[in-house]
Structure 1
Amino acid sequence: MQWQQLFGHTGDQALFCVAADGGEISLAEFKRDLARAHALVERQLNELPRTESLRRTALYCTDTYEFCVWLFAGLAADLQLVIPANNKRATREALADIDLWLGEWPAGNGRQRAFRLSAVHSAGAGGELPQHFAGELQLFTSGSSGEPQSIHKQLPQLMAEIAAQQQQWGSLVADCSVLATVSHQHIYGMLFRLLWPLSSGRAFVSKTYVDVAALLRDAQNLAPALWVASPAQLSRRNDAWPWQQARFLSAIFSSGGPLAAQDAAAIAELAGHWPLEIYGSTETGGIGWRQQRDGNSLWSPLQDVQVGVQVTASTEEPPLLQVQSPWIAEGFATQDRVRMVGERFELLGRADQIAKIEEKRISLTQVERLLSASPLVTTARVLVLPKGPRRSRDLLGALVVPSDEGRAQLNICGKSALVRQLRAMLAPDLDGVALPRSWRMVAAIPVNQQGKSPRELLMNVFETDSETAFATPASMLPEVDATEVEAAVDSARKSAKVSLRIPRNLPCLPGHFETAPVVPGVVQIDWAVHFGKTLLQIPGEFAGMENIKFKQLLVPEERAELELTFDPEKQKLHYRFFWGSEEFSSGKLSFRHG
């Protein structure tokens, strides 16, 4: 494709991008960076042996402007740009036959140098600005096998979808700066926060916002603006955010999964905009859209998209959605079950077993395989625990059979410590949303009379409150001299006090410090959870902590008071270990609603 087909800015001084530090980048500056980046890429390629196939280049950047420069430099050099969702260790090791690494790739394992935009800036004068872009993109998703699958995309396919989005929403987003809380490493973010503003000559903000309050404040400075969001971010809204600044937004887009009706209505009330939801996938690109105003739950196909249903062998299940559009090579049968209503359709759930949580498709098989590789685990099963009365959102649950070593850890340190070890082991290979949030330790995976473990049987383990079976072991608890519980009145805060003494033979004492045995901070937190659940009947599972402070060491034979206050409305437990005027530690612990 030619330059004029991709970039719609009117002149070199036009605002191209707002940098992460707030500085403005003009089209002229982008042209200079692109010319230099293209020259650097060409020099690197000239040092490699010649080949008839496309050179494979891995591209990962957290900064959208840097990603943009390398993206078009690679396309101009006729590269196959491999664009993974993250740069985690497992992702890096799975990438094969990579000739060039661009962006943020940690060194090691014999990997070649990864080039950053700083290398472009220090390179001085570059070559000529490229005018033709002919490479291809390789994106990744999870298929029905549970393993990541590569999806090849040509630039004309992506720009054809951009043209359809522009035809649908062009007048709404005219002159809008683009602010995003989603990554450009995914097809939705790449299309909506990068390629679309480039083709229509609009500016984009280079950083991916973590703080929505900051996004809303920046919307005023960059007005008119639009917010490229996801259902997870919109559903986790905070009423304290400066929603009055949302009047400077022209629209809020959301994609990655259906937005719950109550969340769409809440955003409309707070921001004054009903979110525009885009339905699609990496394989298909955009398929349809909806706004849930007036209770609408149906999706309308995008311009030039044809939808129908695929007949399946089962007459008991709703049919699968079939899609045909200019940006996919041939008809595609999705794994989404639907009900057609005229030319529109209603989504009725997934047919495959790939989990989709907070817009990320997760291979449950991969999580189970990684867990089972730990010396602390014999076997594990992972499943999606749906949003409902017991939990505020969809999350992953892990059913774990500990090994002999794992059982020893469980008996000595307790469940919380074992879970922390397992989560730390998983973290290098998984995105945060793919880490199990709810854990059950069992002697064996439940099976039915046929020797199988259906989902319903596994769910029973999580739906019953079995936390007491895996509470802090008695050998890990302090000696209790007295307890005092103050009854709650009209669901107000509940409080308790425990007078305790630290035994000299507590298993956790040795080895924490070389010079002297002390009670580790994590054990103090476990004690707060244990006595909070035991004395105040706190429902739900431990979910997180905040404002944790350790002021004085807690040592053997020490006497202490543990003060507990639980707020049922906020599901938060405030704890404090002290003796007289001396405070050992304090903090707040949060629990999921039971």
Structure 2
Amino acid sequence: MQWQQLFGYSADDALVCAAADGRKISFAEFKRDLAAACAYLHSAAAQTPRKRAALFCTDTYQFCVWLCAGLGCNLQLVIPANNKRATANALEAIDLWLGEWPSQTSAVAALPLSDTAVNALPQTFEGALQLFTSGSSGEPQSIDKTLPQLMAEITAQQRQWAERTANCAVLATVSHQHIYGLLFRLLWPLSSGRPFAGRTYVDVAALLEDAEQLAPALWVASPAQLSRRNETWAWHKAAHLNGIFSSGGPLAAEDSAAIAALSGHWPLEIYGSTETGGIAWRQQQDGNILWTPLAGVQLSTHTCGESPTPLLQVQSPWVASGFTTQDCVTFVGERFELKGRADTIAKIEEKRISLTQVERLLAASPLVASARVLVLPKNTRRSRDVLGALVVLSAVGAEELNTRGKSTLVRQLRTWLAPDLDGVAVPRSWRFVGEIPVNQQGKSPRELLMQAFEHDQSFSVPAAMLPKVEFAEQDGEDGSQRKSARVKLRIPRDLPCLPGHFDTAPVVPGVVQLDWAMHFGKQLLQIPGEFSGMENIKFKQLLVPEEQAELELSFDIDKQKLTYRFFWDGDEFSSGRLSFHNV
């Protein structure tokens, strides 16, 4: 790759980067920094042959200089998503650590001083790159790329969007450590002679402010970031944007429309992956859901026994050989519709389960805003593989959780899913969160989602929903496999569950009695695991406000079953058994 193919700046005073510290870095300054970095790498290679260098920088300008220097010095640059200790330890045969590596004492954090003559600049860039998949469907995998492959895609993107991107500065809320950010916020502006911002914006309000200063500008974003918009931001300053790019996954139609209403720009969605690079694009204006292939991309389908819908196959100048994705597609002429992923098909107890289907069913519930479902493998806490659901609640669902508790909410969601799913396809473990966690690339890797299930999210009943406890004690163990307790309680008149149940004669609902049994069982008997079922439930007499009652509890440790009974003076209100499983 020749110098003039990588850099498109026509003059030394051309603006290359609006740095995070406020400096405006010209092409002349960039060349001095690049020459100094190359001199350092040549010096290091003279002492010890250096072939593989790991590169991580939070600052895009510093990353840019080290990237170009490494390629100009014929290194293989390993570019992981983060610089965590576990990530560094997983990288193999690294000879040099460039950038910010807290766990590596030999890391070169700062750029060398720019005191080297620019005539020492490389004229060719023959190094190679090793990137990593996001890990959305498993462990991140390394993918080898060459600079000509990346530049071939940039040529196609430039051909597609030349008029829209002309003279535009690039501002981004995604990291350059991933292929999408590397291409769109760095290599593309370098090759077309446009400036880029050195910071990765966390605050979109600040991005809109800088867009006004650097206008015309482009925003390189991800679906996760566009979905977390704030209507109070200065969206009128989006008039200084020429467009918004989004990649990392399909953008929800409602999010695309909302961004268009706020900014005046329908996001340009780029579909692709680390393995394939860019494949296709779409704008959802006028309800469009179809993807249009980029120029030079040849698409076909492959029938897979595990997937009822054909998988997309990709051939392009920026893919070393044909690649079969895990995306199911249906073609409409030359365009296509994404129909989910084959790798979201899980097998549990010999039954094939579509995780995407479970997620869609959950998202259709009025209690749920969004959801992710994954397989929780068998371990010391789980006797078998089960499904776990990570759920963001709607306003209705949040109110239900606050007033009626987790147990009641989970029962409602399980009941919602039951008509459409086999029993093993209904999640057994539930986590309710404010938002689905994402990494810097706007992705939700499995390892990030799994963190929500590493610790027990204890069952709880809102305090306002509990009866008044007059006496409670745990009895001595009844044999080696049984624990018991009893609670004397009074039913308050102002329980939130009483109004409307029933208007003329309020009674404590049966589901609330189940919650009380579970609450006091967890509190007094330290029952492990999560609720999994119930049996022999009987409601014999009405439990009403100001009533006294005694709750008798007995937990069979071996069978993981809690037997309960509400009674008073020989009258029994309700009884039954609740089952639990370790998750």
Indicate the SS of the match to 1:345.
strand
Equivalent residue, structure 2, for 1:430: none
The structure 1 residue matched to 2:268, chosen from 276, 282, 286, is 276
Equivalent residue, structure 2, for 1:326: 317
Cα 1:88–1:486, aligned 2, differ >3 Å: closer, same or farther? same
The structure 1 residue matched to 2:218, chosen from 211, 218, 226, is 226
Q: 1:89, 1:396 → 2: CA distance?
A: 28
Cα 1:214–1:485, aligned 2, differ >3 Å: closer, same or farther? farther
Equivalent residue, structure 1, for 2:157: 165
- Asked if residue 11 in structure 1 is aligned to residue 8 in structure 2, the reply is no
Cα 1:115–1:2, aligned 2, differ >3 Å: closer, same or farther? same
Deviation at 1:42, TM superposition (A): 1.1
Equivalent residue, structure 2, for 1:72: 68
The residue type equivalent to 1:8 in the other structure is G
Q: 1:238, 1:393 → 2: CA distance?
A: 18
Q: 2:15, 2:323 → 1: CA distance?
A: 39
Indicate the SS of the match to 1:294.
helix
Q: 2:186, 2:77 → 1: CA distance?
A: 16
Paired-residue identity, %: 61
**1:26-79: CA deviations, max 9, x gaps?**
11111010000111111111111x4xxx71100011110000000011001100
Indicate the SS of the match to 2:369.
coil
- Asked if residue 343 in structure 1 is aligned to residue 311 in structure 2, the reply is no
Deviation at 1:353, TM superposition (A): 4.0
TM alignment of 1:542-561, pairs within 5 A: none
**1:109-151: CA deviations, max 9, x gaps?**
xx45111234x13877787122111000001126899333211
Equivalent residue, structure 1, for 2:427: 459
The residue type equivalent to 2:203 in the other structure is D
The residue type equivalent to 2:320 in the other structure is A
Equivalent residue, structure 2, for 1:257: 249
Q: 1:68, 1:484 → 2: CA distance?
A: 67
Provide the alpha-carbon RMSD of the alignment. 4.0
Equivalent residue, structure 2, for 1:392: 369
TM alignment of 1:189-588, pairs within 5 A: 189-313=181-305, 317-353=308-344, 388=363, 389=365, 390-395=367-372, 456-462=424-430, 470-471=459-460
Contact 2:131–2:144 (8 Å) recurs in 1: yes
Equivalent residue, structure 1, for 2:22: 22
The TM-score with structure 1 as length reference comes to 0.63
Equivalent residue, structure 1, for 2:58: 62
Indicate the SS of the match to 2:237.
helix
Contact 2:358–2:425 (8 Å) recurs in 1: no
Indicate the SS of the match to 1:58.
strand
**1:330-383: CA deviations, max 9, x gaps?**
11111000001110000000111499xxxxxxxxxxxxxxxxxxxxxxxxx9x9
The residue type equivalent to 1:193 in the other structure is R
The residue type equivalent to 1:91 in the other structure is T
The residue type equivalent to 2:427 in the other structure is M
**1:255-310: CA deviations, max 9, x gaps?**
00000111111111111000000000000000000000110000000011111111
Equivalent residue, structure 2, for 1:548: none
The residue type equivalent to 1:462 in the other structure is W
Contact 1:101–1:112 (8 Å) recurs in 2: no
Indicate the SS of the match to 1:184.
coil
Contact 1:339–1:345 (8 Å) recurs in 2: yes
TM alignment of 1:134-173, pairs within 5 A: 134-141=126-133, 146-173=138-165
Equivalent residue, structure 1, for 2:547: none
Deviation at 1:238, TM superposition (A): 1.0
Q: 1:44, 1:178 → 2: CA distance?
A: 33
Equivalent residue, structure 1, for 2:96: 100
Indicate the SS of the match to 1:289.
strand
**1:459-499: CA deviations, max 9, x gaps?**
1543999x99722899xx999799896979x9xxxxxxxxx
The residue type equivalent to 2:133 in the other structure is T
Contact 2:303–2:309 (8 Å) recurs in 1: no
Contact 1:38–1:127 (8 Å) recurs in 2: no
Q: 2:173, 2:432 → 1: CA distance?
A: 36
Indicate the SS of the match to 1:121.
coil
Contact 2:156–2:296 (8 Å) recurs in 1: yes
Cα 1:457–1:18, aligned 2, differ >3 Å: closer, same or farther? same
Equivalent residue, structure 1, for 2:551: none
Q: 1:229, 1:455 → 2: CA distance?
A: 39
Cα 1:12–1:279, aligned 2, differ >3 Å: closer, same or farther? same
Cα 1:254–1:396, aligned 2, differ >3 Å: closer, same or farther? same
The TM-score with structure 2 as length reference comes to 0.64
The residue type equivalent to 2:459 in the other structure is F
Q: Which 5+ residue runs of structure 2 have no aligned equivalent?
A: 347-354, 383-389, 391-405, 411-420, 434-455, 471-489, 500-518, 520-583
Contact 2:185–2:220 (8 Å) recurs in 1: yes
The residue type equivalent to 2:460 in the other structure is A
Cα 1:142–1:261, aligned 2, differ >3 Å: closer, same or farther? closer
Cα 1:126–1:104, aligned 2, differ >3 Å: closer, same or farther? farther
**1:422-465: CA deviations, max 9, x gaps?**
xxxxxxxxxxxxxxxx99xx9xxxxxxxxxx9994451543999
Deviation at 1:184, TM superposition (A): 0.3
Contact 1:144–1:354 (8 Å) recurs in 2: no
Q: 1:479, 1:92 → 2: CA distance?
A: 54
Equivalent residue, structure 2, for 1:36: 36
Cα 1:68–1:384, aligned 2, differ >3 Å: closer, same or farther? farther
The residue type equivalent to 1:6 in the other structure is L
Q: 2:422, 2:118 → 1: CA distance?
A: 61
Contact 1:385–1:397 (8 Å) recurs in 2: no
Deviation at 1:395, TM superposition (A): 4.0
Indicate the SS of the match to 2:318.
coil
Equivalent residue, structure 2, for 1:188: 180
Cα 1:328–1:112, aligned 2, differ >3 Å: closer, same or farther? same
Contact 1:256–1:279 (8 Å) recurs in 2: yes
Indicate the SS of the match to 2:370.
coil
Bigger shift: 154-163 or 37-46?
37-46
Equivalent residue, structure 2, for 1:568: none
Cα 1:319–1:31, aligned 2, differ >3 Å: closer, same or farther? same
**1:307-327: CA deviations, max 9, x gaps?**
11113346x711000111011
Cα 1:225–1:460, aligned 2, differ >3 Å: closer, same or farther? same
Q: 2:422, 2:84 → 1: CA distance?
A: 32
Q: Which 5+ residue runs of structure 1 have no aligned equivalent?
A: 356-380, 407-418, 420-437, 443-452, 491-529, 531-594
Equivalent residue, structure 1, for 2:572: none
Deviation at 1:23, TM superposition (A): 1.5
Q: 1:37, 1:464 → 2: CA distance?
A: 48
Q: 1:254, 1:122 → 2: CA distance?
A: 36
